[in-house]
Amino acid sequence: MEVAVSRQKKQAQQVPIGSGVLGIGIISRLDNTALQNNHKRRMIGVFFNLKTVYTMSHMSSKDIRQKAVTIIATHFGESMAGMYRHFYVGKSDELILTSLTELLTEYLGQRGAEQELEKYSLNKIICN
């Protein structure tokens, strides 16, 4: 099992997409149809979204942070955005996206948060 996982990791490193986000190595080996298959998602224990993975691979950490701060500024004002700008310094992409999703879900509701993240191409990767 460990060998299989390490082989997957090795293969993932050779694939251009992926930037250290969980599940990327496995995702890169699956085709589009498989990505939409819930059974396979459960099998690998990761929930993900192809569009997100694709977008994430083309977005630098700085871009993600900037977009997150922009969304917060749009909905919550400059003061709150400033606080989050400081908070996000040195934080991983995953943490930024999780934090942003939580904040948006708390205030806009689940659908509202999804729509907002989609609008900025920041659909979140949810890991189990």
Partner 1 sequence: MQLSLKIFVPLCLLFLVLVLSYVAVDPTGLYISTAYLVFPIIAVVAGFRLSRLYAKSITGGMMTCLSVGILFWTLGEIFWYVFENLLHIDPFPSVADIFFLLAYIFFIYALLKEGAIVKKMFGQIRLAHIAVYIIIVSFFVIPISYYGVYQAYHQGATMLENGIAMAYGIGDLLLVVASSLVLLPLLQSGDGKFARFWITVTIGFAFFLLADILFGIFVEAYNGNVKLYRYIDLLWLAGYFSFAYAFLLHYDYVTSTREKLKKLMK
Residues that bind partner 1 (CB under 8 A): 73-80, 83-84, 86-87, 103, 105-113, 115
Residue 12 vs residues 22, 40, 54, 77: alpha-carbon distances, Å:
11, 18, 14, 40
What minimum distance in Å lies between the beta carbon of 56 and partner 1?
A: 23
Q: Which tokens in the block code for residue 82?
A: 């400033």
What minimum distance in Å lies between the beta carbon of 72 and partner 1?
A: 9
Please say which residue, 47 or 76, places its beta carbon nearer to partner 1. Answer: 76
Spatial CA neighbour of 80 closest among 89, 92, 93, 71 = 71
Please say which residue, 11 or 92, places its beta carbon nearer to partner 1. Answer: 92
| CA-based radius of gyration for the chain | 16
What minimum distance in Å lies between the beta carbon of 126 and partner 1?
A: 17
